[in-house]
Amino acid sequence: MNRYLNLVILLLALVFVNCNRTEKAQINIIPKPERLYVSDRIVTLDADSRIVFEDPNPALRLIGEALADFIAGSSSFKPEVVPYSLAKSIENDIYLSMNLNDSTFGDEGYQIKSNNGQFISIQANTARGVFYGVQSLYQLFPAEAYDLNQNCQEWELPAITVSDKARFAYRGMHLDVSRHMFPVEFVKQYIDLLAMYKYNHLHWHLTDDQGWRIEIKAFPKLTEVGAWRNETLVGHGGVRPKVFDGQAYGGFYTQSEIREIVDYAALRYITIIPEIEMPGHASAALAAYPELGCTGGPYKVETSWGVFDDIFCTKEETFTFLEQVLDEVMDLFPSTYIHIGGDEAPKTRWKACKQCQQTIKSEGLADEHELQSWFIQRIEKYLNAHGRRIIGWDEILEGGLAPDATVMSWRGTAGGIAAAQMGHDAIMTPGSHCYFDHYQGDPAVEPLAIGGYTPLSKVYAYEPIPEELTEKQSKHILGAQANVWSEYLKNPEDITYMVLPRMAALSEVLWSPAKSREWENFYDRLPAHFQRYKALGLNYSLAVNQIKVEKILLADSVAGLNLKTEVPNGVIYYTTDGTAPDTLSARFLQPFDQSEITILKMQLYRNGQKVGDIQQRAISVSADK
Ligand code: ACM
Ligand code: ZN
C-alpha cells in the first residue's frame, strides 16, 4: 500500500511539475544574437498553443514539426502544426514565416518578436533563417525542456525581441571516425549539437590509415579489409615501448546509413563535407588494394597513430580507383565541396618509385612536391567536371595550388593567409585554437589527450580574420572549424566531453559580431548550457573552472608553482598542509616555492562565492622544467 501511494505521489508530481521560471529571466543564448531586447512579459505555451506556419511551405512545416516534437518531449501536450490559411489567427501560438523581406538579414538571419507577450513570431527571408530563429527559441526554454522525463503542462517563456544574423558563412565542426568509430545514433546526436549552436557544416573524416569507414560498392575490400585493424595502441603514442590491446577493431557506415545521416543533417540545415584522404593517410585503402601503392605491399591497416610512408602511387590505376570511389561519394553527398585531404604525405615512396619518377619526368615536374600538386589538380579537374569543388589541408599549397581549391589552414594560419592573398577561399582551423582533441584543462587531472592546451577562453578569444589580410583578401576567409581527431577519443562520451562547451565558444566566434564578444558575459551564460547538457544526458567538461598548476622556475632556479584560472574575477585560496582551503587560507598572488610541498589544495572563488569543489594535486619533488 505504501509503495502504491508513493507511486501515485510520484506520478502526480510528474504531471503537475512546475517547469516555469520564477524570477526575471536571464537570457543565455549562445551564440549571442546581434540584437536582443528582453521585456518583463511572458509568453505562455500550453495545450492550446499551436505552431502556425505560413503556407504553402513544406520546409516551414518540417521546422514546425521538429519544434512540436521538441516541446512534446518534455510536456504533457504536443502543439498542433497548422498552416496559417487554416489557423486564421495567432494567439498564444508560435508563428513561422519567411516573409521578412529585409535583405540585410541575408540567408541565415532571422527576427523574433513576442508581441505583447501574446504570441511568438519568427520571421526570416529563408527557411534556413527561420530554422536558426527556432534554435534561439529552444534556448529560451529552461533545462527541464531538454529532459524527456519531464511532463510539463505549460511553459512560460520570456518575451524577447531578437534581430540576428551570421558573421561567417562557413561554421564547421569536424569528426574523425577512422581512428575510432561512432554509432549512427551518435553521429545524429553530434549533428543535433551542431544545429543547436548554428553550425552549418560537418566535415566528416571518413578514411585514414587506421580504418576506411565508407562503403564503396565498386571496391568491397575497402570495408571487408580496410575497415578492420588487428589491434589498437594503448596509452599515448609517444610512450615507449608501445603496448597494444590485442583486440580487433573496426566497422563502417553502409551507404544506406550514410544517406540517412546526410538527410538528417539536411533537415537541420547542415551540409556534410566528406573527406577521402589522398595521397597520404591511405594505409587502410592500400591494405585492401596493395596494387595502388608504390611498393605493392603488403600493407596493413595501422594500429597506432602518426604519419606513415606508404601513400597512393601516382600510377594510372590509382586515378581509376579514386575516380570510381569519388563517383560513389558524389552520389551519396550532395555537398558542392569534397575534401580530398592532402596533408602529411611523406615523399619517401615516390622518391624511390620508378613509376612516380616517370610521372615527374613525363609531366615536366620539378620534384615530388609538384607531383603532389599534379595529383591534387588531376582530382580537382575530375570533381570540377562533375560540378564539385575541392577543399584540402594547407599542404595542397606546396608545389602549386589547384586552380579552384579552398584551403583548410591547420598548421597555424599561414596557409589560410597565403591562400587568401592568392585569391583563394580559406577555412581557418589552426591547431592553436581549433583542435578540440587538445587538452582543455590541466593534463594532470584530464583524460588522456594527444597534447596541446586549448582552454575554453582561448577558443573564445580566437579571431578567424588574420591581421595580415586586407579587407578584400579577408572576404576569402569563409569561416572556421574545430577538428575532433579521435585517436584518444574512443566513445561518444569522450567526444562530447572534448567539444562541450568548446564548440559553444567557437560558435560565438563564428556567428556573433566580433565586437560583441565578452568573455565574462559568455562565462555567465554557460551554466544554463551545462544544465541543458545534463538534461540531455551528455558528458561535458567543467575544465573552465579548473585551476591550472604550472611548474615554473623561480629566481636562482628554484622550482616553483604558478596557479592559473580563466574564470573571470577568479580568486584562488590554497593550503599545503592537507586542510581544506577557504577565504582565510593563503590567497594566491604570485608563484611560490614548491620545495616543501607534497599536497596542494585549492579553492576557487568568484565574487565571494565558491566555484566548484576543492581541487587538489600531489606535487612531486622534482620540477618538470
Ligand atoms: C591534420 O591535422 N593532419 C590535418
Ligand atoms: Zn609510385
The SS3 of residue 552 is strand
Please tell me whether the peptide bond between 31 and the residue prior to it is cis, using omega within 30 degrees of 0. Answer: yes
**Ligand 1 atom having least distance to the Cα of 485:** 2
**Nearest CA residue ID for atom 2, ligand 1:** 410
Cell numbers 501515485 correspond to 8
Alpha carbon distance 289, 322 (integer Å): 12
User: Quick one: pLDDT at residue 5?
Assistant: 53
Alpha carbon distance 102, 57 (integer Å): 19
Alpha carbon distance 587, 576 (integer Å): 12
**Ligand 1 atom having least distance to the Cα of 410:** 4
**Nearest CA residue ID for atom 3, ligand 1:** 343
**Ligand 1 atom having least distance to the Cα of 435:** 2
**Ligand 1 atom having least distance to the Cα of 483:** 2
Residue 412 CA to ligand 2 center (angstroms) comes to 30
**Ligand 1 atom having least distance to the Cα of 281:** 3
Q: Domain map of the chain by residue range?
A: 2-164, 170-535, 547-618
* 236 within 8 A of 254, measured Cβ to Cβ: no
Query: Any idea which ligand is nearest the CA of 407?
Result: 1
User: Which class is domain 2-164?
Assistant: alpha beta
Q: What angle do CA 54, 60, 61 make, to 5 degrees?
A: 95
Distances (CA, A) of 176 to 11, 192, 212, 338, 483: 43, 17, 11, 15, 8
Query: Any idea which ligand is nearest the CA of 315?
Result: 2
Tell me the residue type at 448. Answer: L
Residue 441 CA to ligand 2 center (angstroms) comes to 44
Alpha carbon distance 510, 460 (integer Å): 10
Cell numbers found for residue 368: 615530388
Kindly state if the Cβ of 393 falls inside 6 Å of ligand 1.
Answer: yes
Burial class (CB in 10 A: 0-12, 13-18, 19+), 31: buried
Distance from CA of residue 16 to its chain's centroid?
37
Q: What angle do CA 472, 477, 483 make, to 5 degrees?
A: 170
Residue 313 CA to ligand 2 center (angstroms) comes to 4
Query: Any idea which ligand is nearest the CA of 296?
Result: 2
Kindly state if the Cβ of 398 falls inside 6 Å of ligand 1.
Answer: no
Kindly state if the Cβ of 410 falls inside 6 Å of ligand 1.
Answer: yes
Query: Any idea which ligand is nearest the CA of 316?
Result: 2
The SS3 of residue 602 is strand
- The H or E element that residue 290 is part of is none
User: Quick one: pLDDT at residue 625?
Assistant: 40
- Residues forming beta bridges with residue 480, ordered by sequence position: 171, 428
H helices of 333-392, in order, are 348-352, 354-362, 368-385
User: Quick one: pLDDT at residue 23?
Assistant: 58
Alpha carbon distance 438, 431 (integer Å): 9
Q: What is the mean pLDDT, run by run of 10 residues, along the chain of 625 residues?
A: 52 53 77 96 95 96 98 98 94 95 98 90 98 98 96 95 98 99 98 99 99 98 98 97 98 99 98 98 98 98 98 98 99 98 98 98 98 98 98 97 97 98 98 98 96 98 98 98 98 98 99 97 98 98 97 94 97 98 98 95 97 95 51
Tell me the residue type at 251. Answer: G
**Beta pairing class for 110-115 and 233-234:** unpaired
Residue 529 CA to ligand 1 center (angstroms) comes to 30
Whats the size of the chain, residue-wise?
A: 625
Q: Which of 179, 344, 435 to mutate to test the pocket of ligand 1 (most atoms within 8 A of CB)?
A: 344
Kindly state if the Cβ of 493 falls inside 6 Å of ligand 1.
Answer: no
Kindly state if the Cβ of 411 falls inside 6 Å of ligand 1.
Answer: no
Q: Which residues are catalytic?
A: 208, 281, 344
User: Which class is domain 170-535?
Assistant: alpha beta
User: Quick one: pLDDT at residue 620?
Assistant: 83
Nearest to 433 by CA among 458, 401, 400, 402: 458
- The H or E element that residue 360 is part of is helix 354-362
Please give, one letter per residue, the 3-state secondary structure of 66-132. Answer: HHHHHHHHCECCCCEEEEHHHHCCCCCCEEEECCCCCHHHCCCCEEEEEECCCEEEEECCCHHHHHH
Query: Any idea which ligand is nearest the CA of 354?
Result: 2
E-assigned strands of 488-558? 548-553
Residue 211 CA to ligand 2 center (angstroms) comes to 22
* 276 within 8 A of 207, measured Cβ to Cβ: yes
**Ligand 1 atom having least distance to the Cα of 429:** 4
Tell me the residue type at 75. Answer: S
Which positions ≥6 away from 179 have C-beta within 8 Å? 208, 210, 211, 305, 485, 486, 487, 489
Alpha carbon distance 583, 569 (integer Å): 15
Report the 10 Å Cβ neighbour count for 305. Answer: 19
Alpha carbon distance 56, 343 (integer Å): 47
Residue 135 CA to ligand 2 center (angstroms) comes to 50
**Beta pairing class for 586-587 and 570-575:** antiparallel
User: Quick one: pLDDT at residue 17?
Assistant: 53
Q: Which of 203, 410, 432, 450 to mutate to test the pocket of ligand 1 (most atoms within 8 A of CB)?
A: 410
Q: Which of 205, 311, 343, 487 to mutate to test the pocket of ligand 1 (most atoms within 8 A of CB)?
A: 343
Residue 358 CA to ligand 2 center (angstroms) comes to 9
Residue 285 CA to ligand 2 center (angstroms) comes to 15
Kindly state if the Cβ of 344 falls inside 6 Å of ligand 1.
Answer: yes
* 143 within 8 A of 534, measured Cβ to Cβ: yes
